[in-house]
Amino acid sequence: MANEGLDTAISGEYELGFEIDIETDIIEPGLDIDTLKFISKKKEEPEWMLDLRIKALKKWETMTEPHWGKLDYTPIDYQSISYFAAPKEQIDSLDEVDPKILEAYEKLGISLDEQKQLAGVKVAVDAVVDSVSVKTTYSEELEKHGVIFCSISEAIRDYPELVKKYMFSVVPMADNYFAALNSAVFTDGTFVYIPKGVRCPMELSTYFRINAMNTGQFERTLIIADEGSHVSYNEGCSAPTRDDHQLHAAVVELVILKDAEIKYSTIQNWYPGDETGKGGIYNFVTKRAICEGENAKVSWTQVETGSAITWKYPSCILKGDNSVGEFYSVAVTTLAQQADTGTKMIHIGKNTKSTIISKGISAMKGQNTYRGLVKINSSAVGARNYSECDSLLIGSECGAHTFPYLESKDTQGQVEHEATTSKISDEQLFYLRQRGITEEDAVSMIVHGFCKQVFSQLPMEYAVEAKALLELTLEGSVG
């Protein structure tokens, strides 16, 4: 299909690739115990935290980088990365946050000014630039409800008991190579605690921005939903367009107690690199939730459009009886992007239920892999799982792969798996064009139709953002 406009629009469409022009405190590249001491001191951490970091580093040094993913990338030199970078003049009051950072966040569509937020839906934001949280909004208002919403650094200082109890409880320190690295060097991230019986009065969100060069981002997020509570949390991210790869290795731990619910949504838009595979974020992330109590519920929804490499399997440990785990995912790979993503559903409690809806979209030279595990322990009597993995191919150079794994020790468990692979057919495009719809609009209409089950899980305003992002990502991928 000849359309010059489309051909020229193919790459360089990453709109968030700007750099915030601020002075940055950055340490020399390299990783040893002194690095950890430096980070810990910068964060004014108690001694016990530094000890844990050192323990993690020692474990990490004995481990090897995993390569079972269907991913092909140049080896990462961990000694050439700088593990701490922070905008200078880090302060607390909004008036004192560097106006350039505020401006940058406005550009990303996020207001850090509580007064300026549009009437209607309030969204509390934790803004993280490189290694530090620069601002957390609505903390005071949330405090009135007993909700703690702050950076993880603050939580380590102010709520050590909660942190000691739950950090590493879902993702153990040496769970895997990247998690161990994160445990040693994590810099900032978000901490949330929702007390018993409280329904969090507003959407919570964190926006991660990598800005400095040659750094990695290693954030750590911990969310605890106490009995009968409810929270909806959203994360977003972006990074400047750079020729080098940057490493992002995060850990997210969710703890859901009896009758509580966490809805966790991600719109991942790290810089994807160019069409030859130059630049882009290496995204190695460990996300896991544990439904500790009866009737606990967790729902992961992710829209993954960015990163050169994505290695990510948000998982649910369904320990409480009748607990529910859900995973809704749209992963897009275009340009030379590679994604190996999916989920793990571990059924332990009785009558536990899980749902997996995965939609992979590949265009240009993108490679998209779904890798998922459904494990039903013998204790999980009456467990049920439904999985649906659909792939959509645009063009002929891309690829889609599906690796569903099933381990069932309960012969009565019900497991259903469906998988489809389809192409946007010329016939579908032509039909829409014959009705006066442009080729690009026709592609996005078909893609939205494909993603509908997942987008419908996102909070309204994020669903709108996700649609727009998808359109932008796939702009020009038909040609």
Partner 1 sequence: MSIMKIENLEAKIGDKNILKGLNLELEAGKVHAIMGPNGAGKSTLSKTIVGHYDVEITGGDITYKGKSIKDMEPEERALEGIFLSFQHPVEIPGVNNAYFLRTALNAKLKYEGKEELNAAEFLRAMKKHLEMLGMKSDMISRSLNEGFSGGEKKRNEILQMLILEPEVIILDEIDSGLDIDALRQVSEGINKMKDGKRTFLVITHYSRILDYIEPDYIHVLKDGKVIKTAGPELVPYLEEHGYDGIKED
User: What does the binding site for partner 1 look like in residue numbers (CB under 8 A)?
Assistant: 1, 3, 425-428, 430-439, 441, 445-446, 448-453
Other beta carbons within 10 angstroms of residue 459's beta carbon come to: 17
d(CA 356, CA 337): 23
Taking the CA atoms of 138, 286, 160 and 34 in sequence, report the sign of the dihedral they define: negative
| 369 backbone dihedrals φ, ψ, rounded to 5° | -120, 130
DSSP state of 458: S
Taking the CA atoms of 185, 189, 191 and 192 in sequence, report the sign of the dihedral they define: negative
**Cβ neighbours of residue 434 under 8 Å, at least 6 residues apart?**
none
Identity of the amino acid at 211: N
Tokens of 300: 């992961």
Query: Terminus-to-terminus CA distance in the chain, angstroms?
Result: 6
Q: What is the DSSP string of 197-264?
A: T-B-SSEEEEEEE--STTB-B--EEEEEE-TT-EEEEEEEEE----SSEEEE--EEEEEE-TT-EEEE
Q: What is the DSSP string of 358-392?
A: EEEEEETT-EEEEEEEEEE-TT-TT-EEEEEEEEE
Contact call for residues 345 and 314 (beta carbons, < 8 A): no
d(CA 473, CA 10): 9
d(CA 160, CA 47): 11
Contact call for residues 389 and 423 (beta carbons, < 8 A): no
Pick 271 or 455: Cβ nearer partner 1: 455
CA nearest to 471, candidates 425, 435, 439 = 439
Q: What Å distances lie between residue 227 and 147, 260, 297, 324, CA to CA? A: 13, 5, 11, 15
| Strand, coil or helix: 341 | strand
Q: What is the largest CA-CA distance in the chain?
A: 68
Pick 48 or 431: Cβ nearer partner 1: 431
Pick 162 or 432: Cβ nearer partner 1: 432
